[in-house]
Each structure stands twice: as structure tokens, then as C-alpha cells.
Structure 1
Amino acid sequence: MRPGRPGLARGAAPLPIHGELTVTFVIDAHGLGRGFVRSTGPLLRRRRERVSAVRDVTFSVAPGEIVGYLGPNGAGKSTTMKMLTGILAPTRGRLRVCGLEPSRQRTRLAARIGVVFGQRTTLWWDLPLRDSLTLVRHLYRVDAAAHAARSAELTELLELGPFLATPVRQLSLGQRMRGDLAAALLHDPELLVLDEPTIGLDVVSKSAIREFLLRRNAERGTTILLTTHDLGDVERLCRRVVVIDHGRLAFDGGLDALRAGAPTPRTLVVDLAAPAGPIEVAGARTVRVEGPRQWLELSGNPAEVVSEVVSAVARRHAVVDLTLREPDIEDVVARLYARGRDVPREPAPGAG
């Protein structure tokens, strides 16, 4: 097993990768931009206009990091992913992935990255999963002994054994996703790019994939860039998030810094013994009532107001249960978009 590649500390020396190049960052994007020309207007009077899908995006990812790349639909996430994997060439800026220029060195890059698209499989639809994985070995020219060892390891970790002989078209969504992960990792890539890897999966399948990715990162040092709308993925996997909106970088830093940069109220959920009108207490505002359950949005610093609010509610009502809910990342990101301006970025891990 190859030793893991931990993230770089400040001032750390660049890391040699596969004996080919010496790179400081697995992903290094500076002033990255991609424009398109589109036609608008009536058929006989069409106008051509230039549209920027990505504008002046700068970020880097150190070896061993797991980074969430977030944004609403149309923000520029998919365009960025296509530039990172060499499908699209940037129209502005500089981009290096594993020390290579993706659009010009796409074949060399393909041998060093793995890509999984949650809504599109890379497996052969009518072949058994085992045969698909064998074909992947030949595509990447993986040594037979190395393929056998990695295939056995991935089969055990992803629990593929029971359906290796099943045609891909007969696999459930969760089984197919695990098969796609195995195919993306058979050639032992340094970088794994994941686009919605848990979309449509049940809770058990999501948990299994998240735990596998964490283990892969911890034991092999695989760098992971993840784009998802499932904020459970982000909170479980990522210590750092990069947020893009309208093609521009809106935030780059840790989850705690994101929450602090776009503060979102905490919510106190109160279960009363019997239905009642909206609770009125200082330091909170009732935002929702469903029978005996009420949702109170806390104002100010929850550490200072929560005990006062709880005491006030308990004095006036028969309380069965109380739950303090922290805002999830989706709420925080939505508030960040609504603010309509950039949040100051904290230094990215490994930046120096």
C-alpha cells in the first residue's frame, strides 16, 4: 500500500508525485475564467453575445485535502469541473492539476485522477460489474498484479462481492455508485473528483459511501474535490468549502468561518403538552406552529439567550421536550447568496 500524502503545512516542501513532477498543490487555479458565445433574439435577427460562466476564480487544494465545491445551479460548478478534468480549456487564467495543464495534457492527467459523476455511469451497461472493472484495467494499462490487489481491496471495502456477476443495468443506484467509485480508483489516482456522488441514494448507502471516502483519504492520502447539493456530505466529509456564485468565488475557508461570515439564526424546537398559540418570549420569535410543536428563532448570541428563553417558556407552558437546532450548511450558503456580496476569505489550508 502506498504511503498516504498528508496535506501541506505552511512552509512545507513540495511533494514528489509518481516520480514525474514535483508539485505543491494538487489543484492550483489562478484567475480562472471560461466564457461562451451564445445567440439570442428572433431567428432572422440573431445576436451573438459573450457570457462568462466562470470569472476570476482563484483557489488551490493541497495533497490530502477533502474540499467541498458548492454553489447553486448555474453558478459555474460544472464548468469548473470540466476545466479541471481537461474537457474544457480555460479562456482566461492559469490552471494546473497534479502539475499538468488539463486541456493540453489530458491523457497524462487521466492516469492520475479519478472522476465520478453521480448522474452518469462510466461502467458498461450490459456487462457484469466484474467485466467492467476488467475493461477499466486495460484502459488505464494497470499491471495485472496491481489490478488484482486493488480490485480485491475495493471489493471488500465497498462490499461489491454479491453483485460482481450482475449486469450493470440490473444494479440498484447505490450498487452502481459503489461500482463507479471502484472503477475510478482502480488505477490509484492522486485526485478524486466527485460530482453529486450520493444523489438519489438512501440513508444507508450515503453513509457507506461517506465512510469509504473518509477511510480512503485517511489511509491513502487521496485528495478529494466534491461538488454536491447534499449538505450532509459536506458536513461529514469536508473541513473546507469553496463557494462559487454567478461564476465568482464567494467564499473559501472552513465550515465554522462560513457560518460566521453569513450568520444564520439558531432555532429552538419546543414540544408542548397541548397545542397553544404562538409563544411570545423575549429573545425569540415564533416562526412556525404545528399542533403542540413550535419553532422559535433565537436572536442575538444563543449562548446568552437560550437559557433565558427556555426558562421563560417553561414558566408559561407545560413543556414535554426542547431541542436546539444549529443551522445546516445549506441555510448558511443560501444566506450567503442572498447577501449579494463576497464574504472575506480566510487563508486556505496549505497556502503559504
Structure 2
Amino acid sequence: MTDAIIVEHLHKTFKTKVKGGGFAASVRSLFNPEYKTTRAVDNISFRIPRGQLVGFIGPNGAGKSTTIKMLTGILYPDQHANLTVSVLGMTPWIERKKLAYRIGTVFGQRSQLWMHLPPQDSFDLFAAIYSIPEDTYRKRLKHLVETFEIQDLLTTPVRKLSLGQRMRCELVAALLHDPEVLYLDEPSIGLDILAKKALRDHIKRINAQGVTVLLTSHDLDDIEEVCDRVIIINSGHIVHDSSFDELRKSYLQKKLITVHKRKQAKRLELQGVHIAHDDKDVTKLVVDTKVTDIHTVLSAVAAHYAIDDIEIADPPIEEVIEEIYRRSA
């Protein structure tokens, strides 16, 4: 499988002017300015095969959006001998216009649609910008309109649409020219639960058609539900890159056991087992599998409680990510 995106030794630094306090410092800075250098992205490398759906996550200021802007050609990276960035075989900041015909972008906090115009007008304009033949455009738009269920939204000004409705229209706009790579930067921001679920379903459907997707989101449910792989960036460095299963195995050797029981029992005393909740009906256990393996715990639970039902779960993904942030700080 060929790689859609190749990133090797990518750096980006920003130089900002330091402002002093008071009139004298302000005058002095006019003639002898001081600058502070911030390294937003620090020597990151990764590859994304064609057709993969990858989550790209990190705290605010970690370097996510800066990286995406370099991958789309909006920003130039710091130049050095070892730098290699290729998207669909092109260098983004050198072949930006050519690349734009083969990638799509959705930025949750910035609309590509004209707010005072209905989506149909924006779609028509994008078709002209991307030189999509009329017959191809009409067929593709019909398919996308039906897929994203926006038939009733086409003639409503964008400013009057809900966030969920607007996001569906944003995705249609991003897919009109049939891109091979789709960048989604916080697409679910501000959406309610139902709109988020619909968005996730749409993202999975897009990826199933062979589109490579790079998704950033602060909603870890988005990432966990739709992504094959997760890349975690913190302070400009990639601190983890794996599947979700490998992520959990690497960082949290814990299991959550919920026991539904017929009657109250004495507290279970077992090394490596913490009782998080205990009443006459339900006991919740947190198991450190580095101390005691899960099979030993289950045997002890079965012998100790009169069990109606038992559930075993992994820790919430939020705990895993928090642990990674702590270790990489």
C-alpha cells in the first residue's frame, strides 16, 4: 500500500516580538526590538497509507493545526536538509494549487461557505473554481446531497443553518471535487450528541470509499469511534503513534469490572484491586493487571459474590490520553 502522506523531520518555529511594559520600553522596542522564538512543531515524522483514517490529537497549542496547515501548503515549514513532506507525491507549499484539486479541508471554526448565501450558490462557485465539468458536477452533487440529506437546506442562507446542518454542507463542499485526502480539523465542535453521531457515520462512509482522512478533535469519542490509528502530539513532539488497542496496552494496564449481585457481601480483599463503588446491588472494581492478572481476579470475584451479571471494560480513553500527556510533559 502506497503512502498518501509522508512527513519526515518537520519543524516550524514562529518569531514574535516581545512587548515591554511602559512608554520607555515601547519606544526602545521600536529601535531595538526583542524577539521570542516558539517551536510549534519539533522534528515530527509519520506516514499515512492511502485509505487510512487517522486521529491526530493533542492539547491546545500542541501543534496540530500548524501541522495541518503545512500539509495543505498554507504554511511553509522551516527549511533544512533532512526535511521531507509529500502529500500524494507533491510538496504542499511548492505545488499548493495543484494539490488543492486533490485534497479537501473542513475547519470546524472557520467556514468555507458564504454565510449570507445559500449552500447551493457556494457549491456552484466551487464547481467553477475546481473546473468540474457540468455533467460530472450535477451527478456528484446529487449523490452528495442525498448522502448527507441536505435537500431541504440548499436554498437556506448558511447563517440560518444549525451547526449540524452547516457541517453537513461543509462536508459536501469539501467533497465536490472528489478529493483523495480529507483534512478535518475539529469538525464536531459545538455539535449536539445526535449531530456528532451523524457526523461520525458520514466520516466512516467517506473513508469506506477510499478517501484518506486525517481528523483532529478534542472529543475523544470521535477519535475512538472512527479512527484506525491515533497519532498524539504534545508540545510539538509526537509522543505516541499506534492503534487504539496498542495505545491502551502500552499506557494503561487496567480493567474495570462491574459486578451485579444478588446480595451484599464482604469487601473483596485482593492485591492490585481497588473497589471504586460498593452497595448491595453493584460492586465496581478497578484492576491493575500489572499486579494481578484478570483471570485471577475473575476467579476470586466468582467465588466471593453471588453474581447476577458481570461486565468487563477498558478504562475510558480520556484516562489513557491524560496518562500519555503526563508522561510526555
Bin for the TM-score computed over the shorter chain: 0.7 to 0.9
> 1:251 and 2:240 equivalent?
yes
Deviating 4+ runs (over 4 angstroms): 270-277, 288-294, 319-322
Runs of at least 5 residues in structure 2 that lack an aligned partner in the other structure: none
User: How do residues 157-176 of structure 1 correspond to structure 2 at under 5 angstroms?
Assistant: 157-176=147-166
SS across alignment from 2:13? strand
In structure 1, C-alpha distance between the alignment counterparts of 2:87 and 2:262, rounded to whole Å: 58
Q: CA deviation at 1:114?
A: 0.3
After TM superposition, list the pairs within 5 Å mapping 1:109-188 onto structure 2. 109-188=99-178
Please say if residues 132 and 177 of structure 2, whose CA atoms lie closer than 8 Å, have aligned partners that are also in contact. Answer: yes
The AA in structure 1 aligned to 2:6 is D
When normalised by structure 1's length, the TM-score is: 0.81
Deviation (angstroms), 1:35: 0.6
How far the C-alpha of 1:309 sits from its partner, in A, is: 4.8
SS in 2 for 1:126: coil
Q: 1:309 to 1:228 in 2, by over 3 A?
A: farther
Q: Sort the Cα spacing of 1:148 and 1:73 in 2 relative to 1 into closer, same or farther, 3 A.
A: same
Query: Match for residue 321 of structure 2?
Result: 333
TM-score normalised by the chain length of structure 2: 0.86
C-alpha spacing 1:308/1:132, structure 2 compared with 1 (3 Å): same
- 8 Å CA contact 1:284, 1:309 repeated in 2: no
One-letter amino acid of the structure 1 residue matched with residue 294 of structure 2: A
Aligned partners of 2:154 and 2:279: how far apart in 1?
48
Q: Mark the CA change 1:309 to 1:86 in structure 2 (over 3 Å): closer, same or farther.
A: farther
Deviations 1:38-82 (A, max 9, x none): 234634176422221111111111111111111111111111011
Query: CA distance change for structure 1 residues 303 and 276 in 2, over 3 Å: closer, same or farther?
Result: closer
Could you give the per-residue CA deviations for residues 249-268 of structure 1, whole angstroms, max 9, x where no partner exists?
11222111111221242222
1:226 aligns with 2:212: no
Q: Which structure 1 residue ranges, 5 or more long, are not aligned?
A: 1-7, 9-23, 342-352
Q: 1:304 aligns with which of 279, 287, 295?
A: 295
How many residues are treated as equivalent by the alignment? Answer: 314
* Alpha-carbon separation, structure 2, partners of 1:286 and 1:47: 56
Q: CA deviation at 1:321?
A: 5.6
- Counting only pairs closer than 5 Å after superposition, residues 256-335 of structure 1 correspond to structure 2 as 256-270=245-259, 279-282=267-270, 283-287=272-276, 295-300=284-289, 303-311=294-302, 314=305, 322-335=310-323
Structure-2 residue corresponding to 1:55: 42
| TM-superposed deviation, 1:332 | 1.3
Inter-partner Cα distance in structure 2 for 1:130 and 1:321? 53
Query: What letter corresponds to residue 313 of structure 2 in structure 1?
Result: R
Q: Which amino acid aligns with 1:225?
A: L
Structure 1 window deviating more from structure 2 (238-247 vs 304-313): it is 304-313
- The 1:312/1:299 distance shift into structure 2, 3 A limit, reads farther
- Using a 3 Å threshold, how does the CA distance of structure 1 residues 101 and 312 change in structure 2: closer, same or farther? same
Deviation at 1:276, TM superposition (A): 9.9
Alpha-carbon distance in structure 2 between the residues aligned to 1:170 and 1:94: 43
